[in-house]
Amino acid sequence: MTCRIAVFGTGYLGATHAACMAELGHEVLGVDVDPAKLSKLHAGEVPFYEPGLEEVLKRNIENGRLRFSSSYEEAAQFADVHFIGVGTPQKKGEFAADLTYVDAVIETLAPLLTTPAVIFGKSTVPVGTAERLGRRARQLAPAGDQVEVAWNPEFLREGFAVKDTLHPDRLVLGVDQGRPGRAEEVARSVYSQLLDEGIPFLVTDLATSELVKTAANAFLATKISFINAMAEVCEAAGADVTVLADAIGHDVRIGRRFLNAGIGFGGGCLPKDIRAFMARAGEIGADEALTFLREVDNINMRRRTRMVELVREVVGGSLIGSRIAVLGAAFKPDSDDVRDSPALNIAGQIQLQGASVSVFDPKAIENSRRIFPTLNYASSVNEACSGADAVLVLTEWDQFKQLKPSDLDSIVRNTIIIDGRNCLDRDLWVDAGWEFTAVGVASERRASTLP
Q: Does 259 bind ligand UGA (CB under 6 A)?
A: yes
On the 0-12 / 13-18 / 19+ scale of CB atoms within 10 A, 256 is middle
State the Rg of the chain over Cα: 24
Binding mask 328-357 for ligand UGA (x = CB under 6 A): ---xx-------------------------
Q: What is the DSSP string of 257-305?
A: TT---SS---SSSHHHHHHHHHHHHHHTT-GGGGHHHHHHHHHHHHHHH
Selected from 260, 358, 422, 437, the binder of ligand UGA by CB under 6 A is 260
Taking a C-beta distance cutoff of 8 angstroms, is the pair 224, 264 a contact? yes
Alpha carbon of residue 299 to chain centroid: 19
Cβ at position 260, least distance to ligand UGA in Å: 3
Q: Which is nearer to ligand UGA, 215 or 430 (CB)?
A: 215
Q: Which of 5, 79, 130, 156 binds ligand UGA (CB under 6 A)?
A: 156
Question: Which three-class secondary structure state does DSSP give residue 202?
Answer: strand
Gap between the Cα atoms of 71 and 261, Å rounded: 45
258 binds ligand UGA (CB under 6 A): yes
Among 85, 267, 348, 440, binds ligand UGA (CB under 6 A): 267
**Interface region with ligand UGA, contact rule CB under 6 A, candidates 87-95, 144-152, 259-267, 280-288:** 259-267
Among 78, 155, 405, 432, indicate the residue that binds ligand UGA (CB under 6 A): 155
Nearer to ligand UGA, 131 or 273 (CB): 273
Q: Which segment (63-71, 78-86, 261-269, 381-389) binds ligand UGA by CB under 6 A?
A: 261-269
Starting at the edge strand that comes first in sequence, how are the strands of the sheet with 390-393 ordered?
A: 376-377, 356-360, 323-327, 390-393, 416-419, 435-438
Comparison of 78 and 258: residue with beta carbon closer to ligand UGA? 258
Nearer to ligand UGA, 160 or 201 (CB): 160
- Residue 430 CB neighbour total at 10 angstroms: 15
Q: Does 220 engage in binding with ligand UGA (CB under 6 A)?
A: yes
Name, in order, each residue with C-beta under 8 angstroms of 214's C-beta and a sequence gap of 6 or more: 124, 126, 127, 273, 276, 277, 280
Compute the distance between CA of residue 33 and CA of residue 399 in angstroms, rounded to an integer: 36
What pairs with residue 385 in β-bridges? none
Determine which one of 3, 20, 234, 269 is catalytic: 269
Residues that contact ligand UGA, how many (by CB under 6 A): 22
Q: Contacting ligand UGA (CB under 6 A), which of 10, 90, 123, 217? A: 217
Helix axes 270-283, 291-314, angle to 10 degrees: 150
* CB of 263 vs ligand UGA, minimal distance in Å: 7
Among the listed ranges 24-32, 265-273, 423-431, 437-445, the one in contact with ligand UGA (CB under 6 A) is: 265-273
Q: With binding defined as CB under 6 A, does residue 269 bind ligand UGA?
A: yes
Task: Based on the shown chain and the rule CB under 6 A, indicate whether residue 49 belongs to the binding site for ligand UGA.
Answer: no
Say which amino acid occupies 370. Answer: R
- 9 near ligand UGA, rule: CB under 6 A: no
Q: Map the footprint of ligand UGA across residues 87-146, applying CB under 6 A.
A: 124
Out of 148, 158, 235, 297, name the contact with ligand UGA by CB under 6 A: 158
157 in contact with ligand UGA (CB under 6 A): yes
One-letter-per-residue 3-state SS of 3-37: CEEEEECCCHHHHHHHHHHHHCCCEEEEECCCHHH
Whether the CA torsion 127, 132, 133, 135 is positive or negative: it is positive
User: In the complex, what is the shortest distance from the CB of residue 105 to ligand UGA, in angstroms, rounded to a whole number?
Assistant: 18
Which of 410, 395, 427, 429 minimizes the C-alpha distance to 326? Answer: 395
Nearer to ligand UGA, 164 or 313 (CB): 164
SS3 at position 403: coil
Q: CA separation (Å) from 136 to 19, 131, 147, 247, 308?
A: 29, 9, 10, 51, 48
Q: Is 3 among the catalytic positions?
A: no
Residue 268 CB, shortest distance to ligand UGA, in Å, is 6
- Give me the residues that bind ligand UGA (CB under 6 A), please: 124, 154-158, 217, 220, 224, 258-260, 262, 264-267, 269-270, 273, 331-332
Active-site amino acid positions: 269
